[in-house]
Amino acid sequence: MGVIAWLVLGLLAGATAKAVLPGRDPGGLIGTTVIGVAGAFLGGWLSSQFLDRPVQREFFDAATWGSAIVGALVLLIGYRVLFGNSRS
């Protein structure tokens, strides 16, 4: 997959993670978007390194989507733990 596909995947993974973990985040929409993109990269890397499941070249691969969403969830939870659950 190209960089644009990873960005789209990250945006959708971030939106999915935000739907699973609703609430106001300190970073707002842009912070959640960045977390989604970073989570897609992190999830893909972890999947290829530790689960022996390399990231496929296809955009519509279920394992790629799953790893991107799980990576975004992990980063979103970590972000909330470090920076709080709501904006002041």
Give residue-wise pLDDT tens across range 15-70. 787 788 777 766 666 777 788 788 877 877 777 777 776 666 666 777 777 888 88
Which residue, 74, 88, 73, is CA-closest to 15? 73
Q: What is the C-alpha to C-alpha distance for residues 82 and 62, in angstroms, rounded to an integer?
A: 30
Angle between helices 28-50 and 62-83 (to 10 degrees): 130
Q: What is the pTM of this model?
A: 0.74
Give the pLDDT of residue 58: 66
Pull the structure tokens for residue 71: 């990576």
